Amino acid sequence: MRVHASAVALEGQGVLITGAAGSGKSSLALTLMAFGAVLIADDQTELWREGDTLWARAPDSINGLIEARTVGILKAKSAPAPIVLAIDMDRMETKRLPERHHVTHLGVTLPCLHKSDSPAWPAAIMQYLKGGRRDP
């Protein structure tokens, strides 16, 4: 299945970033890459399921490429990875300590974060991948 999304991974844990055109998918992916994430795909992402795991990769035509507005199309190493977290760039998080959100792709339910305007949000996503989230 192909979706309109970008995706990056940290230490083999992928993040699927969905949203409308211009919502900031590529910008968030680039920021996460600057923090050490590896590109999976930009703008178009192929998803498939193996067992209970959702996987993502780039279509061949855009593999290893990411758009940087006002800069151009940039080259980057790219690799498939299992998706463990989704980010919905079309929904804004308003709560300081939000309840858990979820999304399902190909029958696999994933935790989902909503967009935030906090300057620390990309760093928080990276820490989520490194250590997870604790709920009361």
CATH number at residue 44: 3.40.50.300
Residue with tokens 């507005």: 69
Which single residue is written with the structure tokens 């992928």?
A: 14
**Considering the domain boundaries, does residue 136 fall inside one?**
no
Look up 43 and say whether it is catalytic: yes
Instruction: Check residue 25 and report its DSSP letter.
Output: H
Residue 105 a catalytic site member = no
Query: Does 9 fall in a domain?
Result: yes
Instruction: Please report, in tens digits, the pLDDT of each residue of the chain (136 residues total).
Output: 999 999 999 999 999 999 999 999 999 999 999 999 999 999 999 999 999 999 999 999 999 999 999 999 999 999 999 999 999 999 999 999 999 999 999 999 999 999 999 999 999 999 999 998 887 6
**Residue span of the structural domain in which 123 resides:** 2-131
Indicate if 4 belongs to the active site. yes
Side chain identity, residue 107: G
Annotated catalytic residue, options 43, 91, 101, 114? 43
Task: Report yes or no on 75 lying in a domain.
Answer: yes
d(CA 89, CA 61): 24
The four Cα atoms 19, 21, 24, 30 give a dihedral, to 10 degrees, of 100
Q: Say if 44 falls within a structural domain.
A: yes
> Among residues 4, 69, 130, 133, which one is catalytic?
4
Q: Left (φ > 0), alpha (ψ -120 to 50) or beta: where does 86 sit?
A: beta
What token pair was written down for 95? 């709560």
Which residue of the set 77, 95, 96, 100 is catalytic?
100
Global pTM reads: 0.95
Does 101 qualify as catalytic in the annotation?
no
Total domain count, the chain:
1
